[in-house]
A and B are shown apart, each in its own frame.
Chain A
Amino acid sequence: MTAAAAGAGELTTLSPEIVRLRAETSPDWLAQRRRAAWDAFESMPWPSSQRDEDWRRTDISGLRAERFLPLDDVDGGMAASMAQAWDSAEPNAAFAMDAPNVGPAVSDADALLAQGVIITTLEEAAALHPELVQRALARVAIDESKFIALWNALWRGGVFVYVPRGVEALAPAWIAHPASGDERAVIPATVVLLDDASSLTVVDAYASPPGPHELFSDAVTMLNIGRDAQLDYILLQQWGERVWHVATHRATLEANARLHFFGATLGSHVQKSYWEALLDGAGSEADIAGVCFAEHDQHIDHQSLQAHRARDTRSDLLLKVAVRDKARSVYSGLIDVAPEAVHADGYVQNRNLLLSEGAKADSVPRLEIKANDVRCGHGATAGHIDEEQRFYFQSRAVRRADADALIVRGFLDDIVKRVPHPGVAKLVASLLDAEVSGLPQIGLAEAEAQDED
C-alpha cells in the first residue's frame, strides 16, 4: 500500500526483516513455514553454472538480487492493460489481480462464487481456509531449491482458487501478475486446487512495462488436480526486456486427472522456468504445449518434467521455439518413469527455428525409464528458414522479410491450436503476430469471420 520510493534505509527483498514482516501478518502455520523457508534459503548457495546441472547453460551470476526492493506499488497503467487483455479475450472470466495496491483483488467472480468456487488472495485463503492451502502447498517443499525457498518465505498477495468436488466451473479464472518499477523483486503466487471430478480453466499472466527497468521475479504456480478432475492451464509470460524470471509451474495429477497446459514465453531478459507434470494417479494424462519467441539478447531456459508415477499414465510435451538476433534458448526435458508406472506413454519434443547466425538453441530431451512395458520417446530439431519455402513465397511476389515472418509464424501456428481456450488462442495468435515483426496482418480467423457475415 505504501507508495515507497527507492531510497536509503529501505529493506531489500533479501533482508531477514522482510520475512519477519511477512510472518507477522501470517497465520501461525504459515509464519512457521515462512521462517523455516527463510532458513533454508539462507543455508543454500545461489545456483552456479559450474556446480548445478540445472543451471549449466543459464548463468544468473549477473542477478544482483540483494539490491532489489520488494514491489509494493504496481503501476496502475500496467495493471489496467492486463485487465484489458482479459476483457477482450474472455470477458466472462473471473479476474484476480496479484498486486496489493491496485483495485479489488478479485472481480467479476459472481458466477464462480455461486458455484462454491473459492477465488481470493492466497494470503486471505491461508487465514480462512488453512487446510485447503496446506493441501495445495503440500507438494512444494520449502527447501527444494534456493528460489523455491525464497518464494516460500516471501510470497505475498498471491491468488488462490479452489473448485469443490464435482463442480465444473462455468467461467475461467484469469490471474494477472503485473510488475513495474526498477530494481524491484516480485514474488508471484498462483495456487489452484481442484477437488475430485471438478474442472476449471486458468489463465496465469505475467507482465511488466517495456523498457530498461530491471526486475526480479521468483514465481511459483501449484496446480493440484484431483481424481477425475480436469484443468486447462494457460501461462502467458510477457515480462519486460530486463526482467530476471525464475519460475516453477507444477501440476500434480491424481487418478484419471487431466491437464492441458499451454505456455507462451515471450518476455524477460533471462528466464529459467520449470514446467512439471507429476502424474501420481493411475490413468492421469497431461498434454503440455509451449511456444517461445526470443530476440535481442534474451536467454530463455525451459526445463520440463513429465513424472510418470502410476500405471496407465500418459503425457505429451511439445515446445516450439523461434530465436532471433543473439537470443538463446535452452531446453532440457525429462520423462521419468517410475517402476510402478507400467503402460506409461510419454513423449517429449522440442523444435527450434534459428532466425539469425547469432541465435542459438540447445535442446536436451531425456528419458529415464525404470518400468517395463512403456512407450516413451523424444525428439529435438533445430534449423534455419528453409530456402525453398522462402523462394516459393518470393515467386508469389512476397518480399523476403514478409516471407520470413510468415514462415516463422507458420512454424509456430500448429502450437496455437493447442491453446485450450478459443479466446485465449486468439490472444496468443495476435501476440505472436506482433512478435514476428513485419508480418502482414492476414489471419485466417479474420477472413473466416468475414465469411460468416
Chain B
Amino acid sequence: MTDQATLAVRDLRVEVESKPILRGVDLDVAQGEIHALMGPNGSGKSTLAYTLMGHPKYVVTGGSASFDGRDLLALTPDERARLGLFLCFQYPTAIPGVTTVNFLRAALRSLGKEMKAREFLNRLKEEMDELRIDESFRSRYINDGFSGGEKKRSEILQLAMLRPRLAILDETDSGLDVDALRTVAEGVMRLAGPDMGVLVITHYPRILEYLRPDAVHVLHQGRVVTSGGYELAQRIERDGYEPIIGTAVAEPAGV
C-alpha cells in the first residue's frame, strides 16, 4: 500500500485573472482508482486540471494539493510530471517544427525513461496500432493541423508511452464520435490499474460507461458538492445536474 500514491486536494482556492474559480475543492484520488469529476460548464473542472498541472495562468489563493506526499503547489509543471502526473489536454497546443517522435523522446528522456531508438519505435508502433493511429503521425509536427479526434488520440498515445502514475483526462471525450470514443476509452482502460490512477473530467456520462469509475464527484461553482459511486453518473445521465446541484446549493458548505 505504501507504493500507492494519492492525490490529495484540500480546500483548494484558485483565481484566474483575479476572478475566483475554485472556492475550496476537496478531493482524494488513489493511484489505483478511477475517479470522475463531473459538473456543468463553468463549474471549474478544467481549472482544477490546469491548476494541478501547474499552468502559470492559474493562481492558487488558498488550500493545498499533494501527490505521493509531495506538495504539488511548490513544484514546477515539469517536476509534477516527473512525480507521475499527466494531463490529457482538451485542446493541446500545436508546436510547429517539433514532430510527435521528437516530442515523445524529449518527454521520455526528461522522465528518465529513455529507450533505444529501435525499442522506442517498436513500442510507438504497437501503441499507435492499438489506438488506430496512422503511421504518418509520428513525423507530423505535434498537434499541427491535427483534427479534434487526432489530437485526442495523440494525447492518449502520449499517455500510453509515458505511463504516468495519475492521469487527468480533461474532457478527452468531447468532440469524439462513437467509434473514436470507444478507441480512446479502451486505450485508457488498458493503462488504468494498480499502476495508474485516473481522474476523468467530463460533462457526459457516456465515457464513464467504459471507464466504470470507482467514484464520481460533482463540481459546482468551484466546490465538490457531492460524491458517490458510478450510480451518481447514471443519475446525472437520467435526471441532469439540476436536481443534484439544487440539493447541494440548499446545503451551504459552511463557508
Indicate the member of A394, A412, A453 with the most B CB atoms within 10 Å. Answer: A394
B137 beta carbon closer than 8 Å to chain A? no
12 additional contacts, CB 8 Å, given A393-B103, A407-B97, A410-B98? A392-B92, A392-B93, A393-B107, A395-B53, A397-B82, A397-B107, A397-B110, A402-B110, A403-B78, A410-B95, A444-B101, A450-B116
Cα–Cα, bound, A400→B80 (Å):
13
Task: Using known A-B contacts A451-B118, A453-B118, determine if residue A394 contacts B93 with beta carbons closer than 8 Å.
Answer: no
A406 beta carbon closer than 8 Å to chain B? yes
CB-based contact A387/B56 at 8 Å: yes
The number of residues on chain B lying at the interface, defined by a beta carbon within 8 Å of a beta carbon of chain A, is: 38
The number of residues on chain A lying at the interface, defined by a beta carbon within 8 Å of a beta carbon of chain B, is: 35
CB-based contact A410/B141 at 8 Å: yes
A446 beta carbon closer than 8 Å to chain B? yes
Task: Using known A-B contacts A394-B78, A395-B77, determine if residue A447 contacts B117 with beta carbons closer than 8 Å.
Answer: yes
Hey, which chain A residues are within 8 Å of B56, CB to CB? 387, 391
Chain A residues proximal to chain B, CB less than 8 Å: 386-389, 391-400, 402-403, 406-407, 409-414, 440, 442-444, 446-451, 453
B114 CB, min distance to chain A CBs, angstroms: 9
B97 touches which one: A396, A411, A448, A450 (CB < 8 A)?
A411
Query: Main SS of chain B's interface residues?
Result: helix
Q: List 19 A-B contacts (CB under 8 A).
A: A386-B93, A389-B93, A391-B53, A392-B92, A393-B103, A395-B53, A395-B54, A395-B77, A395-B78, A396-B158, A397-B110, A398-B106, A398-B110, A407-B97, A410-B97, A444-B139, A447-B121, A450-B118, A451-B121
Task: Using known A-B contacts A394-B54, A398-B107, determine if residue A447 contacts B97 with beta carbons closer than 8 Å.
Answer: no
Contact pattern, B 72-103, Cβ under 8 Å of A = 1, otherwise 0:
00001110111000110100110111110111
Task: Using known A-B contacts A407-B95, A447-B105, determine if residue A395 contacts B117 with beta carbons closer than 8 Å.
Answer: no
Cα–Cα, bound, A433→B20 (Å):
43
Cα–Cα, bound, A400→B81 (Å):
12
Task: Using known A-B contacts A447-B117, A450-B121, A451-B121, determine if residue A396 contacts B98 with beta carbons closer than 8 Å.
Answer: no
B57 CB, min distance to chain A CBs, angstroms: 8
B81 touches which one: A396, A446, A449 (CB < 8 A)?
A396
Cα–Cα, bound, A412→B98 (Å):
10
B98 touches which one: A387, A391, A413 (CB < 8 A)?
A413
Hey, which chain B residues are within 8 Å of A451, CB to CB? 117-118, 121
B241 beta carbon closer than 8 Å to chain A? no
Cα–Cα, bound, A411→B95 (Å):
8
Hey, which chain A residues are within 8 Å of B190, CB to CB? none
